[in-house]
């Protein structure tokens, strides 16, 4: 196929209509530059006629050079009461000074009657007028046929009449929108085929595009179906963000087009950057990355069952539909109560541990793992705790050489007034190499106080602990039948300037569970630094 698929990103406009998805102008600039690196063909910067931040974005982005992507401004057809040359919405799009403009018009007679409250003929008039007015001033002019599929299903004759007027107005591409997201994939081919026959009968040859919403969980499938019917212009958002249930997800569409449908696009040529861009958008929006997201999610190529891991080690095709590296992702082997020897051997290799498949310790580790998970421990998000478990079992973490020994700790939470927050204080006694240390610290909550007291006691012996921070702290009740006496699992995510690691603790006492996870976190940091020091000494480097 000689013609490349055009990828049109609307994250900065449609994506920001999602609940809790907010971007500053600076964020929009940074995302635009990242989309440009990915090879996105068009970036819809916003609706300048309705959003002041979009106006500011279009001004600021002129200070940057996009190497491939072209910007578009978005807006609606003119208000019926305004002539095109005096319509503020059309003028705002032109003032954005973008290479492309996308305008939407009403296709569904229900919207013409109930939303615009004008006659059917008047709606056709404003579609053609608006496009004709914009045509001489812009390089690319796209027409979004809003509610096209719903409109066609209810009144196909009128829906096709709106398309005719958009062509008369000079649209470069007709983008068919499933605005309510209610169309199913099996409906798409017949509707697009009817449209193509209609256009052929009138001697029209205008490229088709697709803009799908995900309210029926079919946005990606509908998009790919439309492409199979000849659509060459694809609209969507990164990670599928958008109003209500979201838009068609470009992080799923682009690899599907490239790797499965064998269709060319510039973004498809740069597919290895996809996972990075996906995470980048989430970071700037301050939203968690969906680990279960196809292609780019952390779990997309994660293997848990022992049978799966054994097979994947022999041939990844047995349980992976593509190679993760093609989309910039990685293969992961998880540790859980479903793990077999293959999982443990894989993790041993990953941790740099010498463990043979015939070593009796392997069976002991698998047995201990299953027993611990039966008690509530979970190592999928706490691989540092699992590495420590393996090292203890193998004897590489010398149980005689302990970084510190706890003698006692006490945590007091005192509330002196109903209107004031509690005061939390922790005192701790530990022994480090024969030295007894007794410290205390105040904190924001009992666990924070305990964390501060432990670090305060240890940093005089291990100064590098100052560079370690606690990034996340999660508590989960494992069973509710015991009420406030239920067992809890604590997961802690820690990091330093080089890496991040997770640890776990389980107990009926939340402070004890937190203590277990804290001790593992600090022990892992000290062990990591010790190994690094030994490696440097062995190689003779500083």
Write out the DSSP string of 478-509.
S-STTGGG--EEEEEEEE-SS-EEEEEEEESS
Distance CA 50, CA 43 (A): 18
| pLDDT confidence of residue 314 | 76
At residue 144, the 3 state secondary structure works out as strand
| pLDDT confidence of residue 221 | 98
Distance CA 163, CA 178 (A): 15
E-assigned strand segments in 37-151: 42-46, 70-76, 100-106, 140-146
Distance CA 178, CA 146 (A): 7
- Global model pTM greater than 0.85: no
Cα 382 off chain centre by: 21
Burial grade of 479 (CB within 10 A; 0-12, 13-18, 19 or more): exposed
Q: Are 60 and 25 in contact (CB under 8 A)?
A: yes
Distance CA 405, CA 431 (A): 5
Give the domains, in start order, of the chain with CATH numbers. 6-269 (3.20.20.70), 404-461 (3.30.160)
pLDDT along the chain (542 residues), means of 10: 85 95 93 97 94 92 96 96 95 97 97 94 97 97 98 97 98 98 98 97 95 98 98 98 97 98 97 94 86 92 73 81 93 63 75 80 78 75 82 65 88 88 93 93 92 93 91 79 72 88 91 94 90 69 51
The C-alpha R_g of the chain, in whole angstroms, comes to 30
- For 120, the token pair is 């059917």
Q: Are 249 and 236 in contact (CB under 8 A)?
A: yes
* Alpha helices (H) along 119-269: 120-134, 148-154, 156-169, 188-201, 219-228, 250-255, 266-269
- For 73, the token pair is 């401004």
Distance CA 431, CA 399 (A): 15
Report phi then psi at 286, rounded to 5: 55, 45
| pLDDT confidence of residue 1 | 41
Distance CA 323, CA 303 (A): 14
* Length of the chain (residues): 542
| pLDDT confidence of residue 399 | 44
Residues in a beta bridge with 210: 176, 234
């Amino acid at each position: 196929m000689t013609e490349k698929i055009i990828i049109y990103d609307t994250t900065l406009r449609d994506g920001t209509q999602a609940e809790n998805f907010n971007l500053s102008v600076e964020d929009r600039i940074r995302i635009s530059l990242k989309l440009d690196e990915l090879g996105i063909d068009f970036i819809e910067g916003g609706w300048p006629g309705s959003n002041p931040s979009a106006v500011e974005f279009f001004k600021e982005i002129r200070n940057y050079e996009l190497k491939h992507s072209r910007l578009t401004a978005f807006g609606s057809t003119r208000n019926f009461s305004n002539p095109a040359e005096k319509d503020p919405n059309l003028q705002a799009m032109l003032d954005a000074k973008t290479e492309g403009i996308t305008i939407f018009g009403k296709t569904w007679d229900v919207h013409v009657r109930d939303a615009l409250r004008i006659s059917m003929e008047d709606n056709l008039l404003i579609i053609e007028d608006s496009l004709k007015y914009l045509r001489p001033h812009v390089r690319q002019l796209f027409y979004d046929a809003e509610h096209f599929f719903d409109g066609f299903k209810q009144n196909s004759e009128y829906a096709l009449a709106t398309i005719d007027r958009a062509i008369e107005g000079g649209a470069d591409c007709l983008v068919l929108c499933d605005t309510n997201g209610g169309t199913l994939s099996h409906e798409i081919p017949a509707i697009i085929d009817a449209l193509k026959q209609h256009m052929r009968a009138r001697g029209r040859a205008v490229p088709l595009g697709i803009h799908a919403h995900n309210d029926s969980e079919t946005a990606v499938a509908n998009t790919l179906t439309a492409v199979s019917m000849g659509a060459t212009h694809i609209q969507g958002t990164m990670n599928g963000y958008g109003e209500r249930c979201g838009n068609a997800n470009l992080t799923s569409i682009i690899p599907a087009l490239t790797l499965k449908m064998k269709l060319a696009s510039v973004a498809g040529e740069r597919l290895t950057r996809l996972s990075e861009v996906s995470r980048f958008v989430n970071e700037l929006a301050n939203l968690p990355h969906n680990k279960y997201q196809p292609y780019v999610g952390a779990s997309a190529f994660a293997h848990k069952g022992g049978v799966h891991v054994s097979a994947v080690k022999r041939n990844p095709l047995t349980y992976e539909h593509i190679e993760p590296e093609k989309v910039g992702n990685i293969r992961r082997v998880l540790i859980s109560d479903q793990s077999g020897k293959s999982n443990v051997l894989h993790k041993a290799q990953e941790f740099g541990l010498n463990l043979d498949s015939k070593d009796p310790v392997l069976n002991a580790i698998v047995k201990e793992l299953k027993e611990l998970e039966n008690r509530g421990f979970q190592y999928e998000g706490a691989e540092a705790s699992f590495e420590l478990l393996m090292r203890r079992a193998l004897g590489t973490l010398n149980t005689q050489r302990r970084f510190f020994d706890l003698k006692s700790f006490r945590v007091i939470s005192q509330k002196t007034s109903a209107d004031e927050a509690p005061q939390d204080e922790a005192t701790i006694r530990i022994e480090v190499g024969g030295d007894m240390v007794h410290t205390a610290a105040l904190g924001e909550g009992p666990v924070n106080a305990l964390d501060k007291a432990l670090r305060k006691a240890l940093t005089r012996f291990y100064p590098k602990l100052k560079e370690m921070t606690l990034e996340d702290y999660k508590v989960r009740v494992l069973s509710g039948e015991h009420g406030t006496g239920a067992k809890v699992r604590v997961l802690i995510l820690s990091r330093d300037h080089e890496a991040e690691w997770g640890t776990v603790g389980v107990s009926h006492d939340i402070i004890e569970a937190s203590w277990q996870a804290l001790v593992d976190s600090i022990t892992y940091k000290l062990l990591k630094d010790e190994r690094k020091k030994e490696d440097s000494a062995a190689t003779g480097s500083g």
